[in-house]
Structure 1
């Protein structure tokens, strides 16, 4: 097990030994506050794009449901004739950056989440660590009304007009400690400065979302029987919070599975999919983006790989707030 996976497991279990990392958390906090102060004093400058920017992010490390939310918003904007584009860091991609993402892009170059976003929406998208260059590249190719920044909540070099912060109630804030003692990128007080979208099956806020699961589909061309939730599965998952996927499987009546967890944005090898018996694999759409090129490179691989698609469902309150925020920016919803 890697150190990163060890710490990830400790965060999820709120292990007591994490207290030994507290001095590093103090250093992280000091660096974070210093950087914030430099921007407030004008010593560091922020880039203001010529069109409004909406940041969708979180204050935690690991999955929160941010990507399904972004996909749902992009599709909604398309239905309302709002010209939207997306920028992202492209984590896990090797570049060169900035890189334009299209249907031919591969995760090795642009990252897995950007591939999933574009495949799901067809949205114009550019990835790269320099958000200003990404926006300029995007605007050189498209006339847009709004740009969504996938993540980047802590990227103070980019001015933004709207901030949506996704808070997954399954994970909560853990031990409420900053990195690396806990999985917080920012203090809990940061939730007071943006629009918080609660990701929960039983939310306590009017601004909430949940994920609806559709029927799993086969990733590979294996000819097999129809999907059977009573099968024994290998749950192959490389996301920030794999327990959410396991809960999803439980909700689908899939109780017989053996979890095989990998680090977030993991680069799979074909050996990761090889097991002693012929039982099928079940995985997430995000992982499927990484697995599909691997299957193309290994056409003799015959094991069934089922993908569980999910869709974010937003409460009416989310759309009401969104309309108000867009109206203040002069963006009309049709």
Structure 2
């Protein structure tokens, strides 16, 4: 029998215990972090001084990202941004690197029918949930330009905070409210891609779970239904309360998904896979015929071998109305400034 997510090939070894715990950081990791600090600082300085070229697509650009390695809730927020901006009369497009693509290296347009191996799991999920134009490209600046040329009047860049070649108008940092910045050290000694002061330079800081502090916006991820991966009628998520299920999560912080299910009274048998894991049927040989609940991001990669036991759990990002008012005010100010510049 396949050892499943507890086997060596699927352990989450890319997030050492000392990142979010009290274990001592190895000397080698601290030395490498010092080198990483020099390289990232030099890179930012070169962009700031204009030595490295930057590009703007000519329409407003919102970058959603974080300064920690791993997930923090960027994809649900990106989906919420697309839906709210569309309701306000915008025609948003999404630019994404398409991390995890294995069957293509070139830029691609991603829609609901694109295979995750071609478009990436998160882009396919966003396309299915929103129907927005979505361009997957390692060069986010090129993706933004393609979206503008395709008629989008605003670009949302999913996970592009460190992609400085793309000029942006608004930056939104997403923070895992429970883990925050971990031990506060740079990679590989800690989880940080950049120092914490980089986050303070963003226009908005959104806190996913936990307690939001002064100047921060709280975000909750709400889930109330389970959708059969093979298709069919959704059922209330709380209908699984009091029952054991296999819970599958290949995201940046699987415990967030497991905790959410436990909060509904569901008896969780957790199976944590590495972020962007490419699933096989053998990964689900758990040894007991229980229902399987998984994140949407995981479910898009399991359709080919899913059984009737497989259910996807969609989440909806909920933010205070004040966040949306502030964001829309910022976009209106950008539009007015551009109007003055063109006069």
- Do both share a fold (TM > 0.5)? yes
- Distance in 2 separating the partners of 1:98 and 1:275: 37
Q: 1:132 to 1:18 in 2, by over 3 A?
A: same
Match of 1:286 among 277, 289, 297: 297
Alpha-carbon displacement from aligned partner over 1:79-110 (angstroms, at most 9, x marks no partner): 11111111000000132421001121011011
Match of 2:95 among 64, 80, 87: 87
Give the corresponding residue for 1:99: 108
Q: Number of aligned pairs?
A: 324
Match of 2:193 among 162, 168, 185: 185
Q: Secondary structure of the equivalent of 1:259?
A: strand
Alpha-carbon displacement from aligned partner over 1:236-283 (angstroms, at most 9, x marks no partner): 1100101101111122111x2221111100000100011222111111
Retained in 2: the 8 A contact 1:101–1:118? yes
Quick check: 1:213 aligned with 2:223? yes
After TM superposition, the score normalised by the length of structure 2 is 0.88
Match of 2:324 among 302, 319, 328: 319
- Distance in 2 separating the partners of 1:224 and 1:245: 19
Give the corresponding residue for 2:15: 8
Q: 1:273 to 1:188 in 2, by over 3 A?
A: same
Match of 1:248 among 238, 255, 260: 260
**Once superposed, what is the RMSD of the aligned Cα atoms?**
2.3
Alpha-carbon displacement from aligned partner over 1:301-326 (angstroms, at most 9, x marks no partner): x4501222210001122112102210
After TM superposition, the score normalised by the length of structure 1 is 0.91
Match runs of 1:38-53 below 5 Å = 38-53=46-61
Match of 2:314 among 309, 313, 322: 309
Q: What residue ranges of structure 1 are gaps of 5+ in the alignment?
A: 296-301
CA offset at residue 139 of structure 1? Answer: 2.9
Mean CA deviation greater in 13-22 or 222-231: 222-231
Retained in 2: the 8 A contact 1:10–1:18? no
- Distance in 1 separating the partners of 2:176 and 2:126: 20
Match of 1:71 among 70, 79, 100: 79
CA offset at residue 30 of structure 1? Answer: 0.8
Retained in 2: the 8 A contact 1:222–1:304? no
Retained in 2: the 8 A contact 1:107–1:289? yes
Q: Secondary structure of the equivalent of 1:216?
A: strand
Quick check: 1:33 aligned with 2:41? yes
- Distance in 2 separating the partners of 1:308 and 1:180: 32
CA offset at residue 114 of structure 1? Answer: 0.3
- Distance in 1 separating the partners of 2:210 and 2:11: 29
